[in-house]
Amino acid sequence: MSILVVGSVAIDSVETPLGRADNVVGGAATYFALAASYFAPVRLVAAVGDDFPSDVLDTLRSRGVDLGGLEHRQGTTLRWRGRYHEDMNVRDTLHLDLGVFADFQPRIPSAYRDSQHVFLANIDPRLQSAVLDQLSAPGLIGCDTMNHWILESRPALETLLTRVGILVINDEEARLLSGERNVVRAARRILQMGPKTLLVKRGEYGVIQFSAQSIFAVPAFPLEEVFDPTGAGDTFAGGFMGELARSGDHSEGGLRRAIVCGSVMASFVVEDFSYRRLLTLSSETIERRYRQFVSLTDISGV
């Protein structure tokens, strides 16, 4: 079953303690789409400028990403330049130029309106709601947000959250949204705002999932070398939602397996700059790391 993602496609320049990459393709929707493409066909809604490299579009198409919802506009693509600290959980934005993304108004092609699985990557919550207004009857809606919207567009975000099934944010965002430092109390408050399921991304410490019935925690895959953490959270969301679209299993077990799929994809993407690593995977490579995850966390030690 297809999955629809709406969000940013960008051109990034990134410095990490291990190197740098200039003018490489980034953006939440890009990472999401490539990760999800290993599990299900992807429909992408975003906007790029006339500076966007056309070979990247071919790459996305070759991975089964439908670009019928990608707007090509006059002007420049969203550009971000950032630098990661020695502690790669911390980064500085050195430069941000929204370009054609500044007045992006997502329009859902009629062929996408029946999408059952939808992911609203981090954009203005009013636009995220406008996406939902254009869909006929989405079955599972996942969504991300960021500190900026929590602080500046809280009413719109709260309205959106009443319509969302799964919220995928990081620990800092969970604290800010809930006003609670403790993650369990933060989760309890956020679940009262609407989502049935909350996923809190904790960087190198993995992900913790909360629902009314249960808590599930999975560590990040321990890697010797993290080249570039950019897009890890969006890649996680892509693997997670992609697997849910593939299996159609939204039970607790289905969610847990999907979280491991997301963690697997995130563990790959940080091994190289930009989305490069997401182009070289096979289902065997993904399955092997999935089994490594099981062994990493299996208490019986088999």
Around Cβ 178, how many Cβ atoms within 10 Å? 21
Q: Which of 4, 5, 123, 255 binds a copy of itself (CB under 8 A)?
A: 255
Quick check: 287 binds a copy of itself (CB under 8 A)?
A: no
If one asks whether residue 222 binds a copy of itself (CB under 8 A), the answer comes out as yes
Q: How far apart are the first and last CA of the chain?
A: 34
Q: Which stretch binds a copy of itself (CB under 8 A): 62-70, 149-157, 252-260, 277-285?
A: 252-260
CB of 242 to a copy of itself, least distance (A): 17
The site map against a copy of itself for 83-122 (x = CB under 8 A) is ---xx-----------------------------------
| Amino acid making up residue 117 | H
Instruction: Lay out the sheet containing 207-211: strands in order across.
Output: 65-72, 42-48, 3-6, 117-120, 140-143, 166-170, 197-201, 207-211, 215-218
Give yes or no for residue 133 binding a copy of itself (CB under 8 A): no
One DSSP character per residue, the chain reads --EEEE---EEEEEEETTEEEEEEEE-HHHHHHHHHTTTS-EEEEEEE-TTS-HHHHHHHHHTTEEEEEEEE-SSPPEEEEEEE-SSTT-EEEEEEE-GGGGG------GGGTT-SEEEE-SS-HHHHHHHHHT-S--SEEEE---HHHHHH-HHHHHHHHTT-SEEEEEHHHHHHHHT-SSHHHHHHHHHHTS-SEEEEE-GGG-EEEEESS-EEEEPPP--S-----TTHHHHHHHHHHHHHHHH---SHHHHHHHHHHHHHHHHHHTTSSTTGGGGS--HHHHHHHHHHHHHHH-TT--
Site string for a copy of itself, 224-243 (x = CB under 8 A): xxx-----------------
Stretch that binds a copy of itself, among 24-32, 47-55, 91-99, 287-295 (CB under 8 A): 287-295
- Total residues interacting with a copy of itself, rule: CB under 8 A: 42
Nearest CB to a copy of itself, comparing residues 111 and 294: 294
Binding window for a copy of itself (CB under 8 A); candidates: 62-70, 72-80, 98-106, 246-254: 246-254
| Residue 300 contacts a copy of itself per CB under 8 A | yes
CB 188 to a copy of itself: min, Å: 8
Scanning residues 259 to 278, which ones bind a copy of itself (CB under 8 A)?
A: 260
Q: Is 189 in the site for a copy of itself (CB under 8 A)?
A: no
Residue 288 within binding range of a copy of itself, rule CB under 8 A: no
Nearer to a copy of itself, 65 or 183 (CB): 183
Minimum distance of a copy of itself from residue 185's CB (angstroms): 5
Q: Considering only the stretches 25-33, 102-110, 182-190, 238-246, report the one whose residues sit in contact with a copy of itself under the rule CB under 8 A.
A: 182-190
Distance, in Å, from the CA atom of 172 to the CA atom of 147, rounded to the nearest integer, reads 8
Does position 301 interact with a copy of itself (CB under 8 A)? The reply is yes
Of the residues 57, 219, 247, 276, which one makes contact with a copy of itself according to CB under 8 A = 219
**Residue ranges in contact with a copy of itself by CB under 8 A:** 86-87, 181-185, 188, 202, 204-206, 208, 214-219, 222-226, 251-257, 260, 293-302
